[in-house]
């Protein structure tokens, strides 16, 4: 039987890129920082830190966030910290171990979970064991920690003569067939779970092409905390890793593709969308969208679907709003889908206030704490959609079934015990009145009425197995709740 952490399906995640979310005066002063509101560069630092996150937990709680996923926090010479120097030290620029310990305590006091990024396929030139080889060539006792093809190492110029992620010299690939390397990684995973983190997001885990590695990783992590969340960065269909013996879920980029294709549709920036790891992305009508979503759901058992991390964008992609060419309604539609769909919604920092950004590094801009720059209407929409999800367990835990998927129209039902909610979308440019099937097999009977509870004031009695003339405004979505009585 597949077991995934029960808390995940109730969670609302918020993804933070630590260098770009918030600066605190409590952090050690830094020099040579990029201006906070300047466009980010590949190598520049803006000086965000974990103390700054602590100081803005009220903001996150007000939004409705219950879990934070942090991109890497460990000591590194890169602003994104995917070049890990020391897996046992939080980067001093972020406030070090003291800031992270305080952050964990503050989050857990608020019943907020913390998931951190594990970069275990590759390390960095500054990682002790690799640096030892740089200094000692073939005499180092760590030569079999990596895939070395010659000496001296070409670590700073020319093609690396060792295996490196995407052939980038700064990212030497671990030799995970080496028992010492495996044990090192497993002990790192155990250590941070023991410190209180609530899970691991695994960077490019498919690059470690070894099921036994991830099976042992899961066993070691779950032995300490059976409810720790293990989510992998897999951009494509992920059946191999989602059988219950490796990951609990993946970053659900198949969901992302469908949301872009249907809600941004013909207006999307196709060149930008297709310059991402989830390419190809094409405009979809309702039928295409329904088929894509049903296929994605059919790939995995229900506990896995309930533990998927459903995102619209991330630090690795252009922002949804930018792909949609600034169409705020497209983002609202996609956000309502996130909040009414099985799995855990994940908000990329700043999406809720209308932050824009093209491909990396532009998608990693500094969060604006000047409220005059916010789209406050959009942020309120996020709050309302999150509150809707929290109020209705059926939207988090219920079964899902499609009722309508054609043209610009999509409607599906979420059902949990006696609770039945219908979510309907109109991706078109004109207001619509649609007829929605109300099958008795779902417990929808002729003595019921659908009442609008989100973006709808309508009341629609069941007549001849249908809800007739349901009003769905242009470029909008609504939620109806089935109640007894006409």
Dihedrals phi, psi of 16, to nearest 5 degrees = -120, 130
- d(C-alpha 93, C-alpha 79), whole Å: 10
CA within 13 Å, CB half, 225? 19
Question: What residues act catalytically?
Answer: 203, 233
CB 73 within 8 A of CB 98: no
CA within 13 Å, CB half, 46? 24
Which H or E element spans position 484? strand 476-484
- What angle (nearest 5°) sits at the alpha carbon of residue 480, between those of residues 474 and 484? 150
């Amino acid at each position: 039987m597949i077991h995934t952490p029960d808390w995940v399906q109730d969670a609302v995640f918020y993804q933070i890129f630590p260098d770009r979310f918030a600066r605190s005066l409590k952090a050690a002063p830094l020099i040579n920082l990029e201006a906070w509101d300047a466009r980010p560069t590949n190598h520049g630092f803006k000086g965000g830190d974990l103390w700054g996150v602590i100081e803005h937990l009220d903001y996150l709680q007000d939004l409705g966030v219950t879990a934070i996923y942090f991109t890497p926090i460990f000591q590194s010479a890169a602003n994104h910290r995917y070049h890990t120097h020391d897996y046992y030290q939080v980067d001093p620029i972020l406030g070090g171990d003291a800031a992270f310990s305080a952050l964990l305590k503050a989050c857990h006091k608020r019943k907020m979970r913390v998931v951190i990024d594990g970069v275990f396929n590759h390390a960095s030139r500054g990682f002790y064991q690799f640096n030892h080889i740089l200094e000692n060539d073939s005499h180092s006792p760590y030569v079999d920690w990596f895939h070395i093809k010659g000496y001296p190492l070409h670590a700073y110029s020319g093609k690396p003569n060792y295996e490196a992620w995407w052939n980038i010299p700064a990212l030497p690939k671990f030799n995970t067939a080496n028992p010492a390397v495996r044990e090192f990684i497993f002990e790192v995973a155990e250590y941070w779970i023991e410190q209180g983190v609530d899970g691991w997001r695994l960077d490019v885990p498919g690059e470690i092409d070894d099921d036994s590695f991830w099976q042992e990783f899961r066993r070691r992590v779950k032995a300490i905390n059976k409810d720790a969340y293990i989510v992998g960065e897999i951009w494509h269909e992920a059946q191999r890793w989602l059988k219950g013996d490796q990951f609990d879920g993946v970053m659900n980029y198949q969901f992302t593709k469908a949301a872009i294709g249907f809600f941004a549709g013909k207006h999307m920036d196709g060149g930008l969308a297709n310059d991402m790891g989830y390419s190809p992305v094409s405009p979809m009508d309702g039928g295409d969208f329904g088929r894509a979503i049903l296929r994605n759901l059919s790939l995995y058992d229900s506990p896995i679907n309930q533990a998927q991390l459903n995102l619209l964008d991330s630090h690795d992609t252009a922002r949804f709003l930018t792909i949609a060419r600034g169409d705020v309604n497209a983002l609202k539609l996609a956000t309502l889908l996130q909040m009414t769909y099985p799995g855990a919604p994940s908000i990329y920092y700043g999406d809720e206030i209308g932050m824009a950004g093209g491909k990396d590094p532009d998608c990693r801009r500094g969060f604006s704490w000047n409220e005059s720059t916010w789209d406050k209407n959009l942020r309120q929409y996020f709050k309302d959609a999150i509150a809707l999800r929290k109020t209705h367990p059926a939207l988090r835990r219920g079964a899902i079934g499609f009722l309508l998927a054609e043209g610009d129209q999509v409607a599906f039902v979420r059902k949990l015990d006696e609770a039945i909610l219908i979510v309907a979308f109109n991706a078109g440019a004109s207001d619509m009145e649609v007829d929605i099937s109300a099958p008795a097999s779902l417990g929808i009977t002729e003595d019921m009425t659908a009442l609008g509870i989100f973006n709808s004031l309508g009341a629609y009695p069941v007549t001849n197995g249908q809800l007739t003339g349901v009003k769905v405004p242009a470029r909008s979505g609504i939620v109806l709740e089935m109640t007894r009585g006409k």
